Amino acid sequence: MSAPFTTDRAIRIMAGTFVLLSLGLGVEGSPMFISKNFLWFTAFVGANLFQSGFTQFCPAEMIMVKLGLKRNDGASCGR
């Protein structure tokens, strides 16, 4: 039986997708390469995850809760 789909899981999926996509678009060796400037988006996602670990402020979680996802009691992002 799988765990319920909570904001914690959704944030991990979203952050991982954004990092992989921006790396694919920003690294010259990638077949999806467009511009090195996409690497700034990778840095933004990492910085947001880093700050949310200390401040527990996560705009993505706030949006997901408004859309109806349930918070995980041990969520690492937001509150």
Are the C-beta atoms of residues 60 and 14 closer than 8 Å to each other? Answer: yes
Query: What pTM was computed for the model?
Result: 0.80
Burial class for 59, CB neighbours closer than 10 Å (0-12, 13-18, 19+) = exposed
pLDDT digit string, tens, across residues 36-69: 999 999 999 999 999 999 999 999 999 999 999 9
pLDDT digit string, tens, across residues 15-41: 999 999 999 999 999 999 999 999 999
Rg (CA), the chain: 14
Each domain of the chain, given as residue ranges in start order, spans 7-66
